[in-house]
Amino acid sequence: MQLEAALKQYYGFDDFRPGQKEILEDILSGHDVLGMLPTGTGKTLIYQLATVLLKGRALIVSPLVSLMQDQVDQFKQTGFKRTVALNSFLDHSDKQSVLNHLKDYQFVFVSPEIMQNKYIRSALLSVNWSLFVVDEAHCISQWGHEFRPYYLDLAFIRKKLGNPVCLALTATAAVKVQEDILKYLEMKDAKVHIHSVNRPNISIFVESFSDVEQKLDRALELITELKGPGIVYTNTRRGAEQLVTVLHERGIQDVSYYHGGMDQDERLLVQKQFLNSQLQLIVCTNAFGMGINKPDIRFVIHYNAPANVEGYVQEIGRAGRDLQPSAAILLYHPSDLEIPFHFIENELPDDNQIDYILSDYDVLAEQTLSERLQLAGISETGQRFMEYHLNNSGVLYEKCVPEVKRESLKKILKKKIEERKREKLNSLRMIEKWIMDEGCKRSMMLKYFGEEEIAEKDYCCSGCQDELTRFYGKEEKETHIYQVWEDELKRLFRQEV
């Protein structure tokens, strides 16, 4: 079947978006593929259609449980009913049923962590997979070494599964990140499709403030004036909650906060309300947004500067997926960078903590590893980092670890941590330089990703004198309510009877 005919049959579209067809052709020819396509350009369609045409099944590694639930819902609404996510939302009996009938599913979503479960891994190994998809593949580089260390085991798991064709997808990846993805997934002869991170329909604005109160007033003004829906990013959970409290006090009620400290059900509820247009604004940390498929987000405000350019591009890319004009606004105060700097300095263990954990008595003699990590005062990120590297070193399985081995391991861990800190501090300095530069924001961003700068144009950025006021103007409330019910009816009628 011609690819265009398949596209028409399954989706009703006449033409592929840039990058989709080329990646599909490579997958169907048996090649591993690294694809970097901007947010909102239809990455999901690629592995859906590839799996259908291969007449097989796909295992999709996804980073967030709440994201998986949203993806499963979208797959089923699109017509792919044989889709499931293996995660904590399934109770024991449902999970058991899925594992017993795994061969009946076409698309299975998993996290890297759940595949460490021996029983689940055994079930996954019992069926054949046509495609191994790593969604949000930049996690391997940016998070894999500490926040999500089991991303680094994906190549091993893929081999166990019989080396199905691997598709690694991301929206943003500088050259170093691309190299990391290919290295850690062991994609030796992969086809690489890198498309521009530029989203010309998103205008970029940066405003600087010497006074924190002035910045807050400006944020409130923008939230009041800008046409929504919208997202506001803060760099702390407390900051998100406090801003929502202020907005509620100002009479703005269709807004909620979202962060990693909420339980899964709370986060999923807020996500669903936003997707169904029952909420017009989400105030959140960077825990929100990855994979969120809401096409009509009109603005993204960064109330605090993000820690790196990659994260910034990912987050503003949630706006304007319908290709309509949208705004990305960063409100900067010099104190913004203090929190990411603090995280960089404190999220991984320091030398004294490493010395304590690998002290001269058996790691597991008097305490479990988790107890010792907590007693050392190490952050959750640091604990995951240490657990992963201690597991890989084998010291957890030795009754008595020789001093020479412990000292060698200490040096290795300390060197890794220093390298990671140095990389992250360089990224923080880069975003600071980008903020302070008075030239074209878009051109400087493209240059960071190794792309050619663009000629100055209208409707570009604050450096090119674009006007933010053109994004002002609230919709009438009645229109919003009608749209909510219209969307809900469409969703209900699409559901399987």
Q: Which of 178, 197, 194 is nearest to 454 (CA)?
A: 197
What percentage of the chain reaches a pLDDT higher than 70?
A: 90
Looking at residue 479, its pLDDT comes to: 40
494: confidence class by pLDDT, cuts 50, 70, 90: very low
For residue 469, how many other CB atoms are within 10 A of its CB?
A: 8
Q: Using an 8 Å Cβ cutoff, are 85 and 69 in contact?
A: yes
The CA-based angle 5-60-316, given to 5 degrees, is 85
For residue 263, how many other CB atoms are within 10 A of its CB?
A: 8
Residue 80, phi then psi, degrees to nearest 5 = -95, 80
For residue 191, how many other CB atoms are within 10 A of its CB?
A: 16
Name the token pair of 248: 């509620």
According to DSSP, the residues that pair with 34 across neighbouring strands are 168, 192
Q: Please report the DSSP string for 378-439 in residue order.
A: --HHHHHHHHHHHHHHTGGG-SS--HHHHHHHHHHHHHHHHHHHHHHHHHHHHHHHHHH--S
DSSP 3-state of 377: coil
CA distances from 269 to 72, 126, 276, 279, 492 (A): 15, 34, 11, 11, 17
Q: Using an 8 Å Cβ cutoff, are 319 and 301 in contact?
A: no
Name the token pair of 433: 């330089």
Q: Which of 78, 73, 413 is nearest to 271 (CA)?
A: 73
Query: 117: which residues sit within 8 A by CB, 6+ positions away?
Result: none
Looking at residue 358, its pLDDT comes to: 84
Provide the mean pLDDT of the chain.
Answer: 86
Q: Which of 302, 266, 262 is nearest to 283 (CA)?
A: 302
For residue 231, how many other CB atoms are within 10 A of its CB?
A: 26
Looking at residue 456, its pLDDT comes to: 66
Q: In the predicted model, what is the mean pLDDT of residues 147-160? A: 86
145: confidence class by pLDDT, cuts 50, 70, 90: low
Q: Please report the DSSP string for 15-38 in residue order.
A: SPPTTHHHHHHHHHTT--EEEE--
Q: What is the DSSP letter of 469?
A: G
Looking at residue 493, its pLDDT comes to: 47
Q: Is the peptide bond before 402 cis (omega within 30 degrees of 0)?
A: no
Among 196-200, 220-224, 364-368, the minimum mean pLDDT is found in 364-368
Domains of the chain: 3-194 (3.40.50.300), 202-337+467-494 (3.40.50.300), 342-427 (no CATH)
453: confidence class by pLDDT, cuts 50, 70, 90: confident
Looking at residue 263, its pLDDT comes to: 87
**443 or 361, greater pLDDT:** 443
Q: In the predicted model, what is the mean pLDDT of residues 10-24? A: 90
Q: Using an 8 Å Cβ cutoff, are 373 and 354 in contact?
A: no
Looking at residue 385, its pLDDT comes to: 84
Residues 60-93 pLDDT 10s:
998 877 678 778 888 888 889 999 999 877 888 8
215: confidence class by pLDDT, cuts 50, 70, 90: very high
Residue 131, phi then psi, degrees to nearest 5 = -145, 135
Question: Best-predicted range by mean pLDDT among 40-49, 222-231, 261-270, 414-423?
Answer: 222-231
Tell me the C-alpha distance between 448 and 309, whole Å. 8
Q: What is the DSSP letter of 150?
A: G
Q: Please report the DSSP string for 300-366 in residue order.
A: EEESS--SSHHHHHHHHTTS-TTSS-EEEEEEE-GGGGHHHHHHHHHSS--HHHHHHHT-SS-TTTS
Residue with tokens 């500490």: 146
Q: Which one-letter amino acid corresponds to residue 424?
A: K
Residues 307-336 pLDDT 10s:
999 889 989 999 998 989 999 999 999 999
481: confidence class by pLDDT, cuts 50, 70, 90: very low
Q: Using an 8 Å Cβ cutoff, are 293 and 274 in contact?
A: no
For residue 482, how many other CB atoms are within 10 A of its CB?
A: 11
Residue with tokens 């694809």: 35
The CA-based angle 172-183-174, given to 5 degrees, is 25
**E strands within 3-148?**
33-36, 58-61, 83-85, 107-110, 131-134
Tell me the C-alpha distance between 299 and 320, whole Å. 8
